[in-house]
Structure 1
Amino acid sequence: MDSFAATRARMPELQRRIAADPGRFRMLTGERPTGPLHLGHYVGSITERVHLQNLGVETLVILADYQVITDRDIAARVGDHVRSAIADYLAAGLDPDRTTIFTHSAVPALNQLLVPFLSLVTEAELHRNPTVKAELAASGRALSGLLLTYPVHQAADILFCKGNLVPVGKDNLPHIEITRTIARRFNERYGEVFPVPEAMVTDAAEILGLDGRKMSKSYGNAIALSMSADETAAAIRRTRTDSDRHITYDPVERPGVAGLLSTAAICLDSTPQRIAERIGDAGSGALKALTTEAVNSFLAGHRARRAQLAADPGLIDSVLRAGNKRANDLADATLAEVRTQMGMSYAEAR
């Protein structure tokens, strides 16, 4: 059994423990603010964060702005992307009184943990990480030190707050494994400080983008949560399909049609195959019309709440300030404990 299958097999027991005592868990999750959040984020992760928050799991959400520069020049609009993401979090139901939302660059003590953590991993372990390999291939550049150490930075993200629950997809499971390795090695070398976090994987379906590939900001094939209804209709209208009027779900041979079917199915709580049967011989025009209506109806409530939030321009910044303060308090306490365990507390001012 591979590591993902083994992790999936443990989920019923983990979910039982969460339901029985949610207060035992502190969840760290988040993303890199490289662009607007999209429908895939909403269905694949944001709604699960809201669910766990509402169960009573302590929730921290990081917008990893430093990690934007691991494989590319820092985006000129990173601040806009941070604020846009927070608007989507709040509109989706994340409550800043119960969930800490913060940015990577605003928490110095978190980033300082990178130094001792780097001493606990080998270069070979870093090179084996599949995300490092994938990002390097996508960037077309020489491997930077920051990209190479990306998995260790993610370990600091999780462990600075002593997070013990991390929702992940299959692609990110190796990051949790190296985080677990770092936590164990630190505890063995210096004494118990860090919990060994558990990965949580869900059964959320992967949404195909409008071009049939995985929905991704970098591919430009996504339905952004911040789009208007008209912008959504235009994006769907531009999707390349084919001349066959009989609609079938075939991601390999008909990627554009498959992307539209996948998107509609998620929004209608159906399957791509059932949507295809429903449209039959009506052609891609009918498919695009149905998908547009499905997406706009599905996101209507979210977009209305988002517009209300935008009417209070100071709200987003106040949420971020409060989240950054909470994250700094946690990071400062953890770093002080790490220094003590490492015999370096003499560096503290008296």
Structure 2
Amino acid sequence: MTTETTTETVGAESAGDALAGSTSGASLARTTARSAEIERQIDVDPSGFRVLTGDRPTGNLHLGHYFGTLRNRVLLQRKGVETFILVADYQVITDRDGVGAIRERVLSLLADYLAVGLDPEATTIFTHSSIPALNQLMLPFLSLVTDAELRRNPTVKAEFEATGGRPMSGLLLTYPVHQAADILFCKANLVPVGKDQLPHLEQARVVARRFDERYGRAVPDAPVFPAPEALLSQAANLLGTDGQKMSKSKGNTIELGMDADATAKALKKAVTDADRHITYDPENRPEVANLLLLAGLASDRDPAQIAEEIGDGGGGTLKKVVTEAVNEHFAPIRARRAELAADEAYLREVLARGNARATEIAEATLDEVRTAMQMQY
């Protein structure tokens, strides 16, 4: 399954430039235009697309995940786009000394997915560690990239700088190639990303192109791997309750699994400012604007209109409005999640079915790779 590619000029850039994240303005404009075109094509005929996306099981999912990615995954599913969702358990150890309570986190992640509306009959949910053929693709893929290219990757650079000089693990260094294997094993041709993640997608495009150039094809008329394209995220960027970037590690999130009381308690501590007159001004009043945005997203309303209605009500009224909107929106999701979390057997069954389907596809892809590399003995 392939789709017409109009961003080959991006793929044709030098890999060093692309992997360093120096996407030119012109390339970004082309990618943005192509993403909009893809959205229109999906509305007409979704059958030409296969999506790969996923999460690391490092903690519980929160409202930022929901409004940032989960709702869009459900929308793509409802439109009929074939979707694969990776629970990236192996990626947990790229920058950590251990896996922690990973079993509980994987099942929690799965409960979140199903509670928000992802249907295991329509969407394939699977774990890294359960798909040997996917991980075996790392070997030929690593032959296609250089050490220098990997070290220029923005995420590798950022993670290395965050270690404070600690030696980089081989898994962290090869993280971009592992992501390429995630995308290409199922021949996904569409990946939902933010603009800051485009270098990772470019890595997968580079690997796909170089594999074709170096090793050839399993069948004469088509490359083994399609060149995956970006579906650029238009999601709002929610801040945490402390006004900083929402992050599981900072403890400033509102988790999907929180009950109404816990949500109210978290929002009561949310940062605002000293001005009692509430206005929607993201540039000058980011914390207040963030709460208004959250209320707007939860109630499908304009944040500016909500601000006008609150007027001189101050931060207390604002927090009350946000709490009511969030709790009302998530009440059915939380009820469903509680049912799912109590039925571990069902969650494990869903994951087993997803792993079986992903394994079948990965093994078929690996057979094509061996054929192209003349390694069928």
SS at match of 1:131: helix
What is the CA–CA distance in structure 1 between the aligned matches of 2:296 and 2:162, rounded to whole Å? 30
Q: Is the 8 A contact 2:295 2:303 kept in 1?
A: yes
Aligned to 2:250, the other structure's residue is in SS state: coil
Asked if residue 61 in structure 1 is aligned to residue 75 in structure 2, the reply is no
> SS in structure 2 opposite 1:281?
helix
Does residue 195 in structure 1 map to residue 236 in structure 2?
A: no
2:340 counterpart residue number: 309
Specify the code of the residue in structure 1 equivalent to 2:35.
Answer: M
Q: Counterparts of 1:270 and 1:131 in 2: how far apart (Å)?
A: 35
* Aligned pair partner of 1:219 in 231, 241, 250: 250
Structure-1 residue corresponding to 2:145: 121
- Which residue does the alignment assign to 2:200? 175
Give the counterpart letter for 2:212 in structure 1: N
Give the distance between the partners of 2:330 and 2:26, measured in 1 at CA.
Answer: 36
Q: Does 1:39 align with 2:39?
A: no
Q: 2:169 aligns with which of 144, 157, 172?
A: 144
1:320 is the counterpart of 2:351: yes
Structure 2 residue corresponding to 1:6, chosen from 24, 30, 48: 30
- Asked if structure 2 preserves the Cα contact closer than 8 Å seen for 1:249 and 1:276, the reply is yes
User: CA offset at residue 170 of structure 1?
Assistant: 1.8
Any unmatched runs of 5+ in structure 2? Answer: 1-24, 217-222
Give me the whole-angstrom Cα distance separating, in 2, the residues matched to 1:271 and 1:8: 25
CA–CA distance in structure 2, aligned partners of residues 202 and 242 of structure 1: 30
Give yes or no for contact 1:248–1:276 (8 Å, CA) kept in 2.
yes
| Kept after mapping to 2: 8 A contact 1:208/1:258 | no
Q: CA deviation at 1:198?
A: 1.2
Whether the 8 Å contact between 2:138 and 2:177 is mirrored in structure 1 is yes
Q: Let me know the Cα RMSD of the aligned residues.
A: 1.9
Contact 1:261 1:272 in 2 (8 A): yes
1:18 matched to 2:48? The reply is: no
What's 2:8 paired with? none
**Would you say the 8 A contact 1:208–1:263 is kept in 2?**
no
> Cα distance, 1:251 vs. partner?
5.4
After superposition, the Cα gap between the structure-2 partners of 1:38 and 1:3, relative to the gap in structure 1 and judged at 3 Å, is farther
Are the counterparts in 2 of residues 213 and 259 from structure 1 also a CA contact under 8 Å? no
Q: Which residue of 2 aligns with 1:87?
A: 111
Q: How far, CA to CA, are the matches of 1:79 and 1:143 in structure 2?
A: 26
> For 2:320 and 2:45, how far apart are their aligned partners in 1?
45
User: Residue in 1 aligned with 2:363?
Assistant: 332
In the alignment, structure 1 residue 209 sits paired with structure 2 residue 234: no
Matched, 1:111 2:142: no
Q: Distance in 1 between matches of 2:353 and 2:292?
A: 41
Residues 286-332 of structure 1 show CA distances to partners (whole Å, capped at 9, x for unaligned) of: 11111111111111121122122234331100001111111111111
Deviation at 1:185, TM superposition (A): 0.6
Partner in structure 2 of residue 299 of structure 1 = 330
Q: Distance in 1 between matches of 2:115 and 2:228?
A: 28
Distance 1:250 1:16 in 2: 32
Measure, in 2, the Cα distance between the counterparts of 1:248 and 1:122. 51
Any stretches of 5+ residues in structure 1 without a counterpart? none
Please state whether the residue corresponding to 2:325 is helix, strand or coil: helix
- 2:271 equivalent in structure 1: 240
* Preserved CA contact (<8 Å) 1:38 1:222: yes
State the match for 2:7 in structure 1.
Answer: none
- Residue in 1 that maps onto 2:155: 131
**TM-score, scaled to structure 2:** 0.86
Deviation at 1:81, TM superposition (A): 1.4
Within-5 A mapping of 1:247-262: 247-249=278-280, 254-262=285-293
| In 2, Cα distance between equivalents of 1:303 and 1:85 | 13
Q: Cα 1:64–1:177, aligned 2, differ >3 Å: closer, same or farther?
A: same
Residue 280 (structure 1) aligns with: 311
Change (3 A) 1:3 1:219: farther
Match of 2:191 in 1: 166
- Contact 2:279/2:308 (CA < 8 Å) preserved in 1? yes
| Shift in Å, 1:103 | 0.5
- Percent identity between the aligned chains? 63
* Cα pair distance change 1:186/1:233, threshold 3 Å: same
